[in-house]
Amino acid sequence: MRYTHVCLESLGYTLPEEVVTSSELEARLEPLYRRLNLPEGRLELMTGIRQRRFWSPGTLPSEKSIVSANRAIDAAGIDRSLIGALIHGSVCRDHLEPATASRVHHELGLSPDCLIYDVSNACLGLLNGALQIANMIELGQIRAGLVVGTEGSRQLVETTIDVLNRDESLSRRSIKSAVASLTIGSGSCAMLLCDRELSQTGNRLAAGAIRANTAFHQLCHSGADEAVADGMAPLMNTDSERLMAEGIATGVATFDNFLQEAEWSREQLDKTVCHQVGAAHRKLMCESLGIDPANDFATLDWLGNTGSVALPVTLARAAEEGFLEASENVGMLGIGSGINCIMLGVQWQEARIGGEASGISPAAVSVAT
């Protein structure tokens, strides 16, 4: 997929105030650790994730999506009447129906002519939404569009801790399928795309590439379909080692096609932002794709895996911190369970970010390469 008329104009993001460290989770897992004689510090050592964040109990995804979307719109300085599509792309949503996009659309005050719906594709929902909006802009159907999502991790982490502590049949081997659930964090992000003629930044979307490797759809799955309603008790079962291996293989298979579509050589790919899973995944991803870790920006150390918002939030932080420079080719490399892969390339020029970097110390954002 190649684009000539689409720009990634702005991003807006919101992060929870409540910080939960891996050591705090281990303290809550004391019954399990004692029974299996597990060493303290194991969780951070295995994942490279020092902390993650939780929304306040009872927070609906739409509440934070509205904030993030408003920040993206304000950062772009675009007339809201020009936004012709709104997609809510996170796994988490307010209810099974109506679409969470309905409330977000209402609170943003967007036009009744704006196309709205929800999209769900594990950790790739926001990238899927960005592709759909880009296609509509390229076809001349709309002039601007917004994809937004909010992921909440509190219920999943707390349910996982409860099950691990109560189920005395679990062994060191069998608990591996629950480790990924303890890495999940909360966050919210919005991306505003527009026609090149409207753009003030010139951040042109060059190309996109996709790949579905659904023979491995069973490697990561939850229980029944649930929204973020009272009493929700989600539980994930993840074959982390196999998922990482097959996910990286899917990424490798997508990467050459991505470069071809963007008409870039490997040397012309200046900076990358990948989906944020864990330290081992990031290391193997960089090695497998031939990416210098120094040219890849990460937030997994202090945000954990925030699902579908992980990559765009990390892109926003990279832009805020000056990691992305004018005239650089930037790769957004997403891999999600299913297994699915989406890679987008942007010719970066200018950062327009609506965020909240206050209160985040430099020590909190450092990630070892």
| Same-domain status, 86 and 211 | no
**Helix, strand, coil percentages for the chain (3-state, nearest 5):** 40, 25, 35
The active-site residue, picked from 18, 24, 30, 97, is 97
Phi/psi of residue 7, nearest 5 degrees:
-125, 140
Residue 364 lies in a domain: no
Same domain, 88 and 226: no
Residue 8 backbone phi and psi in degrees, to 5: -85, 95
Angle between helices 240-262 and 279-289 (to 10 degrees): 40
Distance CA 312, CA 127 (A): 8
Tokens found for residue 63: 């509440």
| Residue 208 contacts residue 227 (beta carbons within 8 Å) | no
Is residue 358 in a domain? no
97 catalytic? Reply is yes
Active site (annotated) includes residue 123: yes
Measuring CA to CA, how many Å separate 321 from each of 43, 149, 151, 365, 366? 28, 22, 23, 10, 12
Active site residue: 114, 123, 189, 274, which one?
Answer: 123
Same domain membership, residue 134 and residue 23? yes
This prediction has a pTM of: 0.92
98 and 230 in a single domain? The answer is no
Q: For residue 149, how many other CB atoms are within 10 A of its CB?
A: 35
Closest CA to 308 of 78, 100, 98: 100
CATH classification of the domain holding 51: 3.40.47.10
- Are 73 and 135 contained in the same domain? yes
Q: In terms of residue numbers, what domain contains 292?
A: 204-351
Q: Are residues 262 and 218 in the same domain?
A: yes
Per-residue pLDDT of the chain (369 residues; tens, 9 = 90+): 999 999 999 999 999 999 999 999 999 999 999 999 999 999 999 999 999 999 999 999 999 999 999 999 999 999 999 999 999 999 999 999 999 999 999 999 999 999 999 999 999 999 999 999 999 999 999 999 999 999 999 999 999 999 999 999 989 988 888 888 999 999 999 999 999 999 999 999 999 999 998 887 866 767 654 444 445 556 667 666 776 788 889 999 999 999 999 999 999 999 999 999 889 989 999 999 999 999 999 999 999 999 999 999 999 999 999 999 999 999 999 998 888 999 999 999 999 999 875 334 333 333 332
Q: Which amino acid, residue 258?
A: F
Same-domain check for residues 37 and 138: yes
- DSSP one-letter string for 174-236: TTHHHHGGGGB--EEEEEEEEETTT-SS--EEEEEEEEE-GGGGGGEE-SS---S-TT-----
How many Å apart are CA 65 and CA 276, to the nearest integer?
20
**Is the domain of 156 the same as that of 62?**
yes
Identify whether 7 is part of a domain.
Answer: no
Q: Are residues 125 and 250 in the same domain?
A: no
Residues 163 and 219 occupy one common structural domain: no
The number of folded domains in the chain is 2
Residues 267 and 140 in one domain: no
Query: Closest by alpha carbon to 208, among 274, 263, 267?
Result: 263
* Secondary structure class of 10 (helix, strand, coil): strand
Domain membership flag for residue 187: no
Residues 45 and 117 placed together within one structural domain of the fold: yes
Distance CA 88, CA 99 (A): 8
Residue 54 lies in a domain: yes
Domain-located, residue 140 = yes
Is 356 contained in some domain?
A: no
The whole-number pLDDT of residue 364 equals: 35
CA dihedral sign, ordered 350, 124, 118, 355: negative
In a domain, 357, yes or no: no
- For residue 176, what pLDDT is reported? 86
Which H/E stretch holds residue 166?
helix 154-166
Cα separation, 68 vs 85, in Å, equals: 16
